[in-house]
Amino acid sequence: YNPLGWSRTEVLRLPVTVSAKVYGPDGNLVDSDIYTNEDEVKTIAFQVEIPPLGFSTYFLVSSPREDFEADHKDATDIGITLENKYISVFIDGRTGRLASIVDKES
C-alpha cells in the first residue's frame, strides 16, 4: 500500500522455499532474482511499482524445483571478479561479500 500522493518504486524481497516466477498487476512476467543470503535463506527480489494512494498486486507462481537448485549452485559456486589494470576485486558468490582486493601495481 502507498499512502503517499506520488508513485513509488521499491525492491521487494521475500523468503521462498521453492523456485517462483513473479507476475505483475498486468499479468506480465516481472524480472526477478533468487539468491541465498548469509543465513542460507533463499530470497526472491523484484521491483514493484505502487501508484499514489493505492496498491499493486503481484503474483508468485512456483516453477520446477530443479531450476531452483541449479540456479543457486551456479550463483553460489562461482562468485564475481571485477578488474582493471590497477586492481582485481573478488565478490563471494555465496555471501555477496567482498572476498579480496588485489593491487596489481604492487
pLDDT for residue 99: 86
How far is it, in rounded angstroms, from Cα 63 to Cα 60? Answer: 9
pLDDT for residue 81: 83
Burial 71-95 (b: 16+ CB within 10 A, else e): ebeebbeeeeeeeeeeeeeeeebbe
pLDDT for residue 40: 81
DSSP classification of residue 39 = T
Q: What grid cell was written down for 51?
A: 501508484
pLDDT for residue 73: 46
> Residues of the chain whose pLDDT is less than 50?
66-67, 70-75
The whole-model pTM stands at 0.59
